[in-house]
Amino acid sequence: MVIDPRTGGSRWKQVEKAAGSSRRGAQRMLRSLQADVEDGRYVPASMPVLELGRRWLSEHVQPNLKPSAVASYKGTFYLHVAPALGAVRVDDCGPQTIAAMLARKRAQGLSEQGIAKIRRHLHAMFAFAQDTGLVTVNPVDAVRARAGSKGRRRARGTELSPVQLKRFLEACSPRWRPFFTVALDTGLRRGELIGLRWGDVDLLQRILYVRRSIGPYDDPDDALAGDDGLLAGAQTLLAGAQAERLSTKTEASRRLVPILDGAQRALEELYAQARDTSEQAPVFATVERKPARDGRTLPVGRPLSPRMVTLVFRRYADRAGLPRTIRLHDLRHTAITNAISQGEDVLLVSAFAGHAKTSTTVDLYGHLMPDRVREAARRMHSISNASSHDSCAL
């Protein structure tokens, strides 16, 4: 007799387990099952993986994660997991089954990063199954990541040279030059830049408050919802809870960032030209199709699209003759590299960059600190020398 986790009632269940051909093995398996039942650890998990995945996505992923993360989990499950394991019963989905599925993906040419992502998402799904009592052990724990795929050094970005930066900014139109100037001076991520509102900009103290990020699956109108749920100007009323969905990448990403001279001039120019400078209005807004009376195009109060920003960057990068390997994110990499090269403290740089751990900054940019290492070698005292002097004195 077992407890049904869905109804809470008790029922009899016939269990089939492979115990081998020996009588002793069968008795050992029976005692193990009886102990699990008596301790309340055994739960029948005859549902297919497809049903488990649907429950996991609807009951855990959808309510708790950002739309971009939800789309990523759904994509992994329905593209890779469901076709390969959907018909397998949860209690039959052991480490060997999962390892075989990952091996097939590798043989099909999927990258190690893609395989590692599938493994992570499978682990999260079976962790949900553990929490809901469907399984007692997470089978993915026994499936090790391929040697070299875990703990691999992070890929570095490309730092733009001063000549490349000059060519790029000169290639930008007056409409877009302030955006990319702020990106270069602050090192903000794409979503953080387009999520900026005027209430996040302190031009007197020269500080940016990074409070939200707009991703490719987020609704930009959510960024216009103020703390009281009101939209600036003639925008539609939205619930204040909507704005909470536009959170930053991590908790450490909510931070203060200094405004350097170039960004200060760009933001002052944008502020002077903006039609709406209320606290909830976006700093970087869409532009009207029709010109105003003075011939200029003015912002209408809707945040930019992440995809549009990337396409615009590519257009001006090509116009400036930059290599195709240079990405929009390399503007952030250039900003952080510039700060470290000028001797800024790595703890401050890590805080300004919004890295969750200082070790991330060191891992990505530690190669830029040889001068500081040499300075430490001259400044720090040797413990061995001090101990030898003390022994001589004795």
Q: What is the DSSP string of 160-202?
A: PPHHHHHHHHHHS-TTTHHHHHHHHHH---HHHHHT-BGGGEE
Give the pLDDT of residue 292.
61
234 pLDDT higher than 70: no
Give the pLDDT of residue 47.
84
188 pLDDT higher than 90: yes
Give the pLDDT of residue 126.
94
Among the ranges given (56-70, 194-208, 265-279, 281-295), the one the predictor scored with the smallest mean pLDDT: 281-295
Q: Cβ-count burial of 350 within 10 angstroms (0-12 exposed, 13-18 middle, 19+ buried)?
A: buried
pLDDT tier at 138 (50, 70, 90 boundaries)? very high
Give the pLDDT of residue 146.
62
Task: Report domain extents, the chain.
Answer: 2-39, 49-142, 162-374
Tokens of residue 110, six digits = 């999927």
In the chain, which ranges are E strands?
2-3, 10-11, 201-202, 207-210, 255-258, 285-287, 299-303
Cβ atoms of 172 and 183 closer than 8 Å: no
Tokens of residue 341, six digits = 């090269």
- d(CA 237, CA 254) in angstroms, rounded, equals 25
**pTM of this prediction?**
0.62
- Judge: domain 162-374, CATH 3.40.50.1820: no
- Give the burial string for 255-285 (b: 16+ CB within 10 Å, else e): bebebbeebbebbeebeeebebbbebbbbbb
Among the ranges given (65-69, 102-106, 357-361, 363-367), the one the predictor scored with the smallest mean pLDDT: 363-367
Give the pLDDT of residue 331.
95
344 pLDDT higher than 90: no
- How large is the average pLDDT for residues 270-280? 88
- How large is the average pLDDT for residues 342-359? 86
Q: Which residues are paired to 207 by β-bridges?
A: 202, 258
User: Which residue did the predictor score with more confidence, 7 or 343?
Assistant: 343
- How large is the average pLDDT for residues 20-47? 65
- d(CA 109, CA 147) in angstroms, rounded, equals 17
High-pLDDT (> 90) share of the chain, %? 42
7 pLDDT higher than 90: no
CATH of 49-142 among 3.40.50.980, 3.40.50.300, 1.10.150.130, 3.40.50.720: 1.10.150.130
DSSP H or E segment with residue 315: helix 306-319
Inter-axis angle of helices 177-186 and 306-319, to 10 degrees? Answer: 100
162 pLDDT higher than 80: yes
Give the pLDDT of residue 21.
57
